[in-house]
């Protein structure tokens, strides 16, 4: 049944990463419970609960999505009479403050970085590309100043390369020729893990923190959340909002903005509480 499900995912054009994740989750479930056709909702709840201390909320949310996908498909195809995942409660992922790579650290790293490493860093910081996206980028994906990027779920978007990124890509193309910007030693492209380790070693920050920094800078420059969403390749604005780091200066300005527009002056209302607009 699992092989048939994998073929279903392939036929419906799911990305390789999604297929690998979905199948791995179901295989983990089968390793614990054996027969997938006899699993109940309580079994799924216990499985997720047992991983509360070993897996992040985001990981368990992905597991739930895999269960919903697999058992929904299995019921439609007649493998099981009812879907045990149909009423699984959603898993809340706590909001967290994003780690943002400081511009000073990134710029300092770029001074001595080798050309390929510089391109990796700039694609993450200026292009706001995910690690897998920049690792799989090819020279024929560049059309002028536009980069054709394949993101999550196999979705394609175009990312403009700014005036600082584009010359570095030109130089890398002249030096290496056509193909992957970051070729592997034995063909294909470098593994994303290897690229991530290089970026972290050179800058002191992981690739995702550079993506966060780029998203924050883009929003500060434009105040256009929709444009930043397109740049990042997010399906929802809510996801984009979680990427934006609001500095304390912005928070302080927001706090100052709560002052009364027209203060009431009285013995019971000290002057120090008056509006910033008061005379």
Task: Please identify every residue annotated as catalytic.
Answer: 130, 152, 208, 211, 234, 243
How many residues are given for the chain? 279
Identify the three-state secondary structure at position 269. strand
What is the C-alpha radius of gyration for the chain, rounded to an integer number of angstroms?
24
Look at residues 87, 21, 95, 86 and name the one whose alpha carbon lies nearest to residue 59: 21
Full DSSP string of 236-250: SHHHHHHH----HHH
Whole-angstrom Cα distance, residue 6 to residue 73?
11
CA angle at residue 194 from 158 to 205, to 5 degrees?
Answer: 75
Whole-angstrom Cα distance, residue 142 to residue 159?
9
First to last CA, the chain: 76
Q: Which residues pair with 160 in a beta bridge?
A: 146
Would you say 15 and 133 are in contact if contact means Cβ atoms under 8 Å apart? no
CA angle at residue 152 from 192 to 160, to 5 degrees?
Answer: 85
Whole-angstrom Cα distance, residue 276 to residue 272?
10
């Amino acid at each position: 049944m699992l092989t048939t499900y994998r073929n279903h995912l392939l036929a419906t054009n799911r990305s390789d990463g999604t297929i690998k994740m979905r199948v791995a989750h179901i295989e983990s479930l089968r390793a614990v419970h054996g027969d997938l056709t006899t699993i109940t909702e309580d079994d799924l709840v216990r499985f997720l609960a047992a991983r509360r201390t070993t897996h992040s909320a985001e990981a368990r949310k992905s597991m739930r999505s895999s269960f919903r996908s697999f058992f929904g498909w299995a019921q439609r195809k007649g493998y099981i009479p009812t879907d045990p995942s149909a009423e699984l409660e959603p898993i809340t992922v706590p909001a967290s403050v994003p780690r943002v790579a400081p511009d000073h650290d990134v710029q300092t790293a770029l001074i001595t970085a080798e050309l390929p490493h510089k391109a990796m860093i700039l694609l993450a910081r200026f292009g706001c590309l995910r690690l897998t996206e920049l690792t799989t980028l090819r020279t024929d994906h560049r059309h002028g100043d536009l980069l054709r990027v394949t993101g999550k779920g196999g979705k394609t978007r175009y990312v403009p390369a700014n005036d600082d990124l584009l010359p570095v890509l030109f130089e890398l193309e002249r030096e290496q020729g056509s193909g992957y910007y970051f070729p592997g030693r034995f063909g294909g492209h470098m593994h994303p893990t290897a690229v991530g380790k290089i970026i972290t070693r050179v800058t002191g920050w992981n690739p995702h923190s550079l993506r966060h920094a780029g998203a924050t800078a883009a929003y500060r420059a434009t105040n256009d959340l929709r444009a930043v969403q397109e740049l990042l390749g997010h399906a929802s604005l809510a996801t984009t909002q979680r990427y934006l780091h609001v500095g304390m200066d912005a928070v302080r300005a927001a706090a100052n903005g709560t002052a009364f527009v027209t203060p009431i002056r009285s013995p019971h209302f000290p002057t120090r509480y008056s509006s910033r607009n008061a005379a």
